[in-house]
Amino acid sequence: MNGQDENTSEWMAGSIGVNAVVVRNVTGLLRRAGLVLTQQGVPGARLARPLPDITLLDVYRAVEDSLDLFTIHPRPNPECSVGANIQVSLEGVFGEAQQAMEHRLSQTTMAEIVRQLQAAATC
């Protein structure tokens, strides 16, 4: 890691293995959610809140288009016994799984993730 360059989209993209445009798009979503601060013409981003105050659920909600972990086809065939009943059969299970995942994400802060990364860091 090398100081201020760490926060540029190019540095992050190289670390993650994606195009810098992807990083900039995600950074925009995080900014709109109030998790990071950016300035036009200034490379990089800063956290808007301390790491212990940001959970993985905050990040998940900021970057996901659809907050439904599982989706069910919106128009199954009502003439088919499976199609007519699939939503009712799966909605409860999927809802419980969604709640469990969100609960787990809410219990993990970015400070914990950073500590884990620092402990395992080799670059």
Q: Where are the domains of the chain?
A: 1-48, 50-123
CATH for 50-123 is 1.10.10.10
> What distance in Å separates the CA atoms of residue 113 and residue 63, rounded to the nearest whole number?
17
pLDDT tens digits for 72-86? Answer: 777 888 888 888 888
Q: Give the residue with greater pLDDT, 36 vs 87.
A: 36
Q: Looking at the predicted structure, is the pLDDT value of residue 31 above 90?
A: yes
Which CATH number is 1-48's, of 1.20.120.1200, 1.20.140.70, 1.10.10.10, 3.40.50.300? 1.10.10.10
**Which amino acid would we find at residue 22?**
V
- Fold match between 1-48 and 50-123? yes
Across 2-121, where does the E strand assignment appear? 36-39, 42-47
pLDDT tens digits for 53-109? Answer: 999 999 999 998 777 777 777 788 888 888 888 888 888 898 899 999 999 999 999
The mean predicted confidence, pLDDT, of the chain is 87
